[in-house]
Chains A and B, each alone.
Chain A
Amino acid sequence: GAGVSQTPSNKVTEKGKYVELRCDPISGHTALYWYRQSLGQGPEFLIYFQGTGAADDSGLPNDRFFAVRPEGSVSTLKIQRTERGDSAVYLCASSPNGPRYGYTFGSGTRLTVV
């Protein structure tokens, strides 16, 4: 596609529920990143995919968070047993090959856990 597409744009869920956030990167971009951004903070790194594999998942805060990219294109971020502290904007970004030249962000998914 022309840009990075994220769905849904907004998600409200109850504490303890499971959520999935989807990211469709720019066509041909092999590198895909998930970040989350809380109010007044910069984006915080979660996980980086190069192709189908997670090259670096060191930013995932705990084992409730998991992400996949089975065919090297679309990625899904999965959060189990959501907590109110998970509320944030979840940003996806992609780049042709790594961060060297920066990357393009999608419009984000605003997750609210009530």
Chain B
Amino acid sequence: QKEVEQNSGPLSVPEGAIASLNCTYSDRVSQSFFWYRQYSGKSPELIMSIYSNGDKEDGRFTAQLNKASQYVSLLIRDSQPSDSATYLCAVENYGGSQGNLIFGKGTKLSVKP
């Protein structure tokens, strides 16, 4: 059973701080990794994708990937109250039809003004 593990939180950070969200995955051959943001009562929204080891930056967001450790993280710099949401880590299912993403349960982030 392929798994994606996340700390459910809640993770609470003060406004302006760096929020660090972590994810581990079980399938060693996975190649594509994603972070989705989900506001309460809304559907998931893709915010970052990463495919190679190292860092990928997009505005205040940085995704980090370490395939050897099977570890993906998301850093949010200068956190804002509007960043308060559940962050879902997703990993491409590289077996079978190679057609779907496996999601973690998500980490709930709360940014306090």
> Which A residues are within 8 Å of any B CB, using their own CB?
31, 33, 35, 40-45, 48, 50, 55-56, 58-59, 91, 98-108
Contact = CB atoms under 8 A, between A and B. Distances in A.
Interface string B28-46: 0000101000000011111
Interface size range of chain B in the complex: 20 to 34
Given A91-B43, A108-B43, A99 B96 contact: no
Nearest to A108: B43
A27 to B, nearest CB: 18
Contacts of A44: 103
A42 B103 contact: yes
A17 to B, nearest CB: 25
A42 B100 contact: no
A70 B4 CA distance: 33
Contact of B44 (A43, A50, A55): A43
Given A48-B100, A55-B97, A56-B96, A41 B105 contact: yes
A113 to B, nearest CB: 19
Contacts of A56: 96-97, 99-100
